[in-house]
């Protein structure tokens, strides 16, 4: 997420954006909020400017030192919460994902072989431990195979 103040447009691309460091400020010529038209003077080669620098800034009603400190603390806390939520959303519960494949919730042929071998005389699926099945290759020899992806 960009840090700064934006007007018009959307979260990804506001029409007017002023970054917290005042670098990389942007003024687009159109959006769905305001009437179209350039916000900046024409560029030297024609067309309209998109990026600009702030030379002067006047701020009113900021409050005392205590209010500013509280605001900066709340801002930092909010950013930490947002970053934690983004990290949490990026993590995948691999066990639940594998269970979704097994249950058929996600259409896949990854476990189709289980259906095909179930019922064969030489195959016994261990229903208590769905990660394993037993294939009898001969009457005196048993091979245990693991289906788990570890």
The pLDDT-based confidence of 150 (bands split at 50, 70, 90) is very low
d(CA 39, CA 54): 14
Task: Summarize pLDDT for 109-126 with one digit per residue, the tens.
Answer: 666 666 677 666 666 666
- Residues 6+ positions from 32 with CB-CB distance below 8 Å: 8, 9
pLDDT of residue 123: 66
Q: Per-residue pLDDT averaged across 89-96, rounded? A: 77
* Mean pLDDT score across all residues of the chain: 76
Which are the contacts of 6, defined by CB distance < 8 A and separation ≥ 6? 14, 15, 16, 17, 18
Give the per-residue pLDDT at 1.
Answer: 62
The answer to whether 24 and 51 have CB atoms below 8 angstroms apart is: yes
- The model's confidence at residue 127, banded by pLDDT at 50, 70 and 90, is low
Q: Residue 131: is its pLDDT beyond 70? A: no
Rounded Cα distance, 41 and 57, in Å? 19
What spatial distance separates the first Cα and last Cα of the chain, rounded to whole Å? 35
Alpha-carbon distance of 20 to 9, in angstroms, equals: 18
Owner of token pair 């294939």: 135
Per-residue pLDDT tens digits for 19-55: 888 888 988 888 888 888 888 888 777 767 788 888 8
Q: How confident is the model at residue 81 (pLDDT cuts 50, 70, 90)?
A: very high
């Amino acid at each position: 997420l960009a840090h700064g103040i934006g007007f018009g447009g959307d979260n990804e691309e506001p029409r007017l954006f002023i970054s917290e460091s005042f670098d990389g400020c942007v003024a687009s010529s159109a959006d769905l909020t305001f009437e179209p038209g350039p916000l900046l003077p024409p560029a030297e080669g024609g067309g309209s400017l998109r990026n600009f620098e702030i030379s002067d800034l006047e701020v009113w009603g900021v409050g005392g030192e205590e209010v500013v400190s509280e605001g900066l603390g709340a801002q930092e806390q909010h950013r930490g919460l947002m970053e934690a939520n983004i990290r949490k959303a990026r993590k995948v519960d691999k066990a639940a994902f594998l269970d979704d494949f097994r249950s058929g919730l996600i259409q896949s042929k990854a476990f189709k072989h289980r259906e095909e071998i179930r019922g064969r005389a030489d195959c016994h699926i261990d229903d208590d431990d769905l990660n394993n099945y037993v294939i009898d290759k001969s009457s005196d020899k048993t091979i245990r195979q693991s289906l788990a992806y570890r």
